[in-house]
Chain A
Amino acid sequence: MNHEKEYIEIFDRHRQLIEEPCARLLNIEREKAFIKFKALGFPKSNDEQYRHSNVAKLFATDFGMNLGRININASPAELFTCDVPNLNTRQEFLINDSYYKGGNNKKELPEGVLLGSLNDFAESSHELLAPYYNRLAGNGDSIAQFNTSFVQDGLLLYIPRGVEIEETIQIVTMLHSGIDMMSNRRLLIILGENAKANILICDHSSNNNKSLSTQVSEIFLADGAQLNLYEIEETDNNNARLAQLYVRQNSNSRFNHCNVTLTNGFTRNLTEVVLDGEGAETDISGLVINDKQQHTDNRTLVEHRTPRCNSNELYKYILDENSTAVFAGKMLIRPGAQQTNSQQTNRNLCLTSCARMYAQPQLEIYADDVKCSHGSTVGQLDENALFYMQQRGIPIEEARHLLMFAFAGEVIDKIAIDAIRDRLHMLVEKRFRGELNRCKGCTLCK
């Protein structure tokens, strides 16, 4: 089971191939990360953080990796057509781990904004990005180190102080290959003081091969910056996703995150938010809809380091058939983080006796003047409500859909952008009705 050995060998053998096309900044961090990965290996079964998610076995598959940066001749426009009207977004693509420019971007970006290939910008703007790249993920676990060791590209968004991008930036990540494929991608998002942006990340897969993606995102919000980040996973049963999101917020910054796992295979999402400046606010939420053998593990850490910060967390799961899922959420209130307001809610529906939910809410408080609460429940659809609806003539299946839709709606309603919220309501409804087949929007699947 020592699959890390195989990857250590691959790295040693192909080091030049990996480093050659990459910017110095990526390679400097790669060097450090690889030493850490060698020491750590893949997460072990006794690792509390991975107890219900056997990640090591994912790496047993003999995945292909495009280390030589062979152009796959993919045309984003052909692979992906957004079929929802009124979703006027600016599209950017990460196919496997390579950046592709979207075709629909007519508007000029405001001056000073950098949006595009992380590797290209790391080369051209080394001084600008060096204080950020891998500053948060550098202390991460072995999966973060693995990603940093193998990553060759990804996406950068840099918005200078005071600049606001009104248009939603839609980042479409896709796995596209004729073989079993692994891709390691990276997102770096930096908002200067009072900068504002909306980002929608759609994670798709477009083939029937096995695929594994690691995605490490680092987000820096300077004083007063505001970011809405929405993530939707619409992959398939053959896909494994190991995502890690690290956020650092300075004073009075606002971060809203909603992560929706609509269709997937095996998913582990780590979200770590550090509130490092007075008055910072964060609102993170997630919705998971699983059936078959699907597995979703959401782990969150919200760390309050400074006084008068607010955090709010809402994660809801609907588990059908033999699916399994994990919610492990920790709120950590550091000494001195007085007048913290922190709330965490986790609600889960298990629709069958085979579905399994592991819920682990955690609260660690080292300050004495705080308001913190957390709650977690696991249950079934309300029988009384179902019967009440049936008595009014609503067929049982429709009644179940209405209840599930209502349950999910609470998370989706947090999305501030009308078009995205409406789209998600529609997608969730289709998902419950079984009308959502793998990835909506990929022409290859239709």
Chain B
Amino acid sequence: MDNLIEIKNLHATIDGKEILKGINLTIKPGEVHAIMGPNGSGKSTLSNVLVGHPAYTVTEGEVIYKGKNLLDMPAEQRSHEGIFLSFQYPVEIAGVSMTNFMRAAINAKREYHGEPTMSAGDFLKMMREKRALVNLDSKLANRSVNEGFSGGEKKRNEIFQMAMLEPTLSILDETDSGLDIDALRIVAEGVNKLKNENTSTLVITHYQRLLDYIKPDIVHVLYNGQIVKTAGPELALELEERGYDWIKNENPA
């Protein structure tokens, strides 16, 4: 099977400071990968670089996604090609309704793929169906994007958007942070329902608990800008038990 994404020797900086120091990571269609690691190891930087955040500069390496050079694409094209980031801190956008926001996103994607604009009726029907997947209140969908949403509502809204956009590669950046157990289950169930043999997921998390719901095939440990350990799901359990110090000791900075 072809690789969905292949990250080779990726180096990246922010404000001149090198955060990623040679990442190598390959994900095949249908796989769930988890990236764990202590604070400041570069987990969020990796997700931001993959979606083309302008604050980060790639200084070395390449990323091949669906056989194309990902780093050449502007952020919106990466989205159209099926990369989705569930933000650690979803942004509030005052005055832009969820409906207008989603309609602009869906129609931009359709235009990119040469498809006609979605009719208002079809669009609203799709909104209703996908909303149900994460129990998102219809009132929230009529409000401004993330404005006045609680932490849990914001994360559910991320998964709702993921359901709307049907990505091929979903990156969940600490989607479990700030969630209570019930919200965590709803979010994880939403993610699982959206999974199929062609879509892949990259879960970035500190803790094992999200991985109880979203079962990874492969677990990586990111430390000091590099992947220092890769193993099966049992690695996450080991980290839960032993913490990160032994990783740090094995890999002095």
A contacts, CB < 8 Å to B:
382-385, 387-396, 398, 402-403, 405-407, 409-410
Which stretch in B23-31, B87-95, B197-205 binds the other chain?
B87-95
Could you tell me if B76 and A393 are in contact, using CB atoms closer than 8 angstroms? yes
Binary CB contact string for chain B from 95 to 114 against chain A (1 if under 8 A, 0 otherwise): 11000111011101100100
B224 within 8 A of A: no
Could you tell me if B96 and A406 are in contact, using CB atoms closer than 8 angstroms? yes
B54 within 8 A of A: yes
Give me 13 A-to-B residue pairs in the complex whose CB atoms sit less than 8 angstroms apart, sorted by A's number: A385-B93, A387-B75, A388-B90, A391-B87, A392-B79, A393-B105, A393-B165, A398-B104, A398-B108, A402-B104, A405-B96, A406-B93, A407-B95
B80 within 8 A of A: yes
Q: Which residues of B contact A383 (CB under 8 A)?
A: 54
How far apart are A433's CB and chain B's nearest CB, in angstroms? 14
B229 within 8 A of A: no
Instruction: Give complex CA distance A398, B80 in Å.
Output: 15
B76, B91, B94: the one contacting A395 at CB < 8 Å is: B76
Q: Which residues of B contact A396 (CB under 8 A)?
A: 74, 76
Question: With A385-B91, A390-B74, A398-B104 given, can you name 16 additional A-B contacts, CB distance below 8 Å?
Answer: A382-B93, A387-B53, A387-B54, A387-B91, A390-B52, A390-B75, A390-B76, A391-B51, A391-B52, A391-B78, A392-B161, A393-B76, A396-B74, A398-B108, A402-B96, A403-B96
Could you tell me if A393 and B93 are in contact, using CB atoms closer than 8 angstroms? no
Could you tell me if A391 and B75 are in contact, using CB atoms closer than 8 angstroms? yes
B85 within 8 A of A: yes
Q: Which residues of A contact B87 (CB under 8 A)?
A: 388, 391
B86 closest partner in A (C-beta): A391
Q: Which residues of B contact A398 (CB under 8 A)?
A: 104, 108
How far apart are B45's CB and chain A's nearest CB, in angstroms? 14
Knowing A394-B76, A396-B76, A402-B101 are in contact, say whether A389-B93 is a contact too (CB < 8 A): yes
Residue of B76, B79, B87 with most chain A CB atoms under a 10 A cut-off: B76
Instruction: Give complex CA distance A311, B123 in Å.
Output: 42
Q: Which residues of B contact A403 (CB under 8 A)?
A: 93, 95-96
Residue of A384, A393, A410 with most chain B CB atoms under a 10 A cut-off: A393
Instruction: Give complex CA distance A387, B93 in Å.
Output: 11
Q: Which residues of B contact A390 (CB under 8 A)?
A: 52, 74-76, 79
Instruction: Give complex CA distance A399, B51 in Å.
Output: 16
Could you tell me if A394 and B93 are in contact, using CB atoms closer than 8 angstroms? no
Could you tell me if B96 and A388 are in contact, using CB atoms closer than 8 angstroms? no
Q: Which residues of B contact A406 (CB under 8 A)?
A: 93-96, 144
Instruction: Give complex CA distance A395, B102 in Å.
Output: 13
Instruction: Give complex CA distance A396, B100 in Å.
Output: 15
Q: Which residues of A contact B79 (CB under 8 A)?
A: 390-393
B52, B105, B112: the one contacting A392 at CB < 8 Å is: B105
How far apart are B100's CB and chain A's nearest CB, in angstroms? 7
Q: Which residues of A contact B100 (CB under 8 A)?
A: 402
A402 closest partner in B (C-beta): B96
A407 closest partner in B (C-beta): B95
How far apart are A137's CB and chain B's nearest CB, in angstroms? 37
Instruction: Give complex CA distance A251, B145 in Å.
Output: 41
Q: Which residues of A contact B94 (CB under 8 A)?
A: 406
A383 closest partner in B (C-beta): B54
Instruction: Give complex CA distance A344, B92 in Å.
Output: 24
Knowing A384-B91, A389-B93, A402-B100 are in contact, say whether A394-B54 is a contact too (CB < 8 A): no
How far apart are B128's CB and chain A's nearest CB, in angstroms? 19
Could you tell me if A394 and B104 are in contact, using CB atoms closer than 8 angstroms? yes
CB-CB contacts below 8 Å: B99-151 with A: 100-102, 104-106, 108-109, 112, 144-145
Residue of B54, B87, B96, B161 with most chain A CB atoms under a 10 A cut-off: B96
